[in-house]
Amino acid sequence: MNRAADVAVAGAALVVASPLLALAALAVKLTTPGPALYRQVRVGIGGADFELLKLRTMVVGAETQGAGFAVNRGDARITAVGRVLRRLSLDELPQLWNVVRGDMSIVGPRPTLRYQVERYTPRQMRRLEVRPGITGWAQIHGRAALPWDERIELDVWYVEHRSPLVDLEILARTPLALFGGTYKGATGGWER
């Protein structure tokens, strides 16, 4: 049932978002040399590799410059258009196709790189028991502002407690998290 819902939601979202996706891709293409789409191998369910799609927000070859695969706040490799796309998370729109293909889910832990997975503890490997998602428990609790280990622990909590109700809570809170809010728990409310 979850897979059917993923396909239905992602397919509908692709149709609705296609004009915005086309404009964003055009902006990337017109302002920087290189392709509009960025493809990167990530680790999915069961540890299987898949090709993640994103709108390109950095200069071509960014992973061979500066901090490599890491992206720091104010990273000079991020293009002007890329900053806007990242701030609004529009660079993630092509991942709806990853959901349709079955590589990802709408909700789940964000997919990581192979070198990161190789550093997981046995407990952290639990992240790989579910399909990676476009949004997830860690995203509504601070996104990249959280320390790495804390994000992974939030993802493991999600794997251990996932349910349709938790998924609906994540979906409901994702827009607020995208636009600057951080959820601090049931009694803490939202913080900007």
Give per-residue pLDDT as tens, 109-137.
Answer: 999 999 999 999 999 999 999 999 999 99
Q: What is the mean pLDDT of residues 59-77?
A: 80
Burial class, 4, CB count within 10 angstroms (exposed 0-12 / middle 13-18 / buried 19+): exposed
Between 2 and 138, name the one with better pLDDT.
138
Q: What is the mean pLDDT of residues 27-38?
A: 95
pLDDT tens-digit map of 171-191 = 999 988 877 654 444 434 333
Q: What is the mean pLDDT of residues 65-85?
A: 83
Whether the pLDDT of residue 150 is over 70: the answer is yes
Residue 67 has what pLDDT?
66
Which SS3 state, helix, strand or coil, does residue 40 take? strand
Q: What is the mean pLDDT of residues 67-76?
A: 75
Between 146 and 20, name the one with better pLDDT.
20
Q: Which residues contact 169 (CB under 8 A, 6 or more apart)?
A: none
Read off the pTM.
0.85
Residue 182 has what pLDDT?
47
Residue 91: closest CA among 141, 155, 144? 144
Contact 126, 137 (CB under 8 A): no
pLDDT-derived band at 65 (thresholds 50, 70, 90) equals confident
DSSP 8-state secondary structure symbol assigned to residue 56: -
Going from N- to C-terminal start, the domains of the chain cover: 2-191
* Phi, psi torsion values for 110, nearest 5 degrees: -65, 140
Residue 155: closest CA among 127, 119, 135? 127
Q: Which residues contact 147 (CB under 8 A, 6 or more apart)?
A: none
